[in-house]
């Protein structure tokens, strides 16, 4: 009987741990290298090192009257900052931007070094999905180039000498 009680407590404790894990990590989800962050009250900053780039595949907004934007501060020699992406509204019922047709979700790729910033919008929930990758492509190292130099394989003197002269029969002969 004690064993049954212990298993019940253990089972409930496991479920509480799973629930607590999901509640604590609700603002951050990751799948296959992609990360999703939710912006409601505090801004987020995503640093992009020099040897990487960031691919933003989804930036949506629900609620609020103003649009959320992705602002990029570019480091290095270029310098400067710009808004590169506006949020796609999924709740089209409020504000000046209320529309009757769905919007297109745009994507953007930003090379490092850069700092991606998303400020909160009053009354809105912003969701961004992104992935950081190496600048060299799909994360694989580029193989070194193969250098081919032509080298002579034969000699300049002919290696074949004629062994005989061909005989030509000018008229066919009839053989019985």
- Domain limits of the chain? 24-134
Nearest to 39 by CA among 65, 54, 60, 11: 60
Interstrand relation of 114-118 and 44-48 (parallel, antiparallel or unpaired): antiparallel
**Rounded Cα gap, residues 88 and 110, in angstroms:** 18
112 pLDDT exceeds 70?
yes
pLDDT, average across residues 115-137: 90
**Rounded Cα gap, residues 50 and 47, in angstroms:** 10
pTM of the model: 0.55
Determine how many CB atoms are found less than 10 A away from the CB of residue 118: 21
**Rounded Cα gap, residues 33 and 28, in angstroms:** 13
What confidence tens digit (pLDDT) does each residue in 25-56 have?
555 555 578 999 999 999 999 999 988 999 99
What confidence tens digit (pLDDT) does each residue in 58-80 have?
999 998 889 999 999 987 676 78
At residue 130, the pLDDT reads 95
Beta bridge partners of 117: 45, 71
**Rounded Cα gap, residues 153 and 101, in angstroms:** 71
What confidence tens digit (pLDDT) does each residue in 158-168 have?
556 556 666 66
Average pLDDT, the chain: 74
Superfamily of domain 24-134: Nucleoplasmin core domain (2.60.120.340)
């Amino acid at each position: 009987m004690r064993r049954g009680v212990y298993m019940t407590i253990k089972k409930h404790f496991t479920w509480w741990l799973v629930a607590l894990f999901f509640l604590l990590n609700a603002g951050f989800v990751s799948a296959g290298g992609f990360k999703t962050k939710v912006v409601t009250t505090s801004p987020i900053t995503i640093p992009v090192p020099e040897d990487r780039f960031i691919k933003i595949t989804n930036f949506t907004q629900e609620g609020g009257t103003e649009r959320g934007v992705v602002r990029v501060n570019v480091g290095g020699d270029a310098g400067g900052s710009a808004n590169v992406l506006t949020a796609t509204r999924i709740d089209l019922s409020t504000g000046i931007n209320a529309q009757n047709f769905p919007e297109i979700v745009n994507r953007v790729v930003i090379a490092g070094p850069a700092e991606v910033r998303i400020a909160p919008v009053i009354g809105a929930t912003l969701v961004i999905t992104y992935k950081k990758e190496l600048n060299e492509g799909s994360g694989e190292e580029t193989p070194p180039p193969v250098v081919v130099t032509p080298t002579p394989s034969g000699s300049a003197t002919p290696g074949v000498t004629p062994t005989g002269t061909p005989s030509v029969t000018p008229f066919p002969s009839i053989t019985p």
